[in-house]
Amino acid sequence: MPGWNHWKHDKNARHANYTIRRLEADAFPALGNRTVNDITAAMLIAMVRKIESRGALDIAKRVLTMCGQVFRYAVANGLAERNPAADIKPADVLKPTKKNNYARLGQKELPKLLQYCEIR
């Protein structure tokens, strides 16, 4: 895999391993044995929605980003005509995440928190 070797040479080994495992687990099975020019935005959307359906919203976003990087490399190296992932933003196809805003800590409460953290 020349593209893979080009990409991973300056990456942390743990990150590179995570990336290829994620693609093998989610992207490759969903997209099948197609050439890069045969993969459409609709296929990518179906793939990320399937990932989302199992409750893995963050992974769905990451896999879409990873696919976009693969396609970008393919286009840059004459292996694909276009990047279908460029037409998709996660917010357009995936449910929004619920953000938790935690109560802020007052200035007077900070010493007690620091003391608590030192005890543990």
Residue found by looking up tokens 């953000």 in the block = 99
* Interatomic CA distance for residues 109 and 86, integer angstroms: 47
| Domain 2-119: top CATH class | mainly alpha
More confident residue, 106 or 75: 75
Domain boundaries, the chain: 2-119
For residue 59, the model assigns a pLDDT of 94
- pTM beyond 0.85: the answer is no
Question: 23, 24, 30, 59: which is closest to 44 by C-alpha?
Answer: 30
For residue 47, the model assigns a pLDDT of 96
Question: 120, 118, 119, 22: which is closest to 70 by C-alpha?
Answer: 22
- What DSSP state is assigned to residue 81? S
Q: What would the pLDDT profile of 30-80 be if each residue is shown by its tens digit?
A: 998 999 999 999 999 999 999 999 999 999 999 999 999 999 999 999 999
More confident residue, 10 or 119: 10
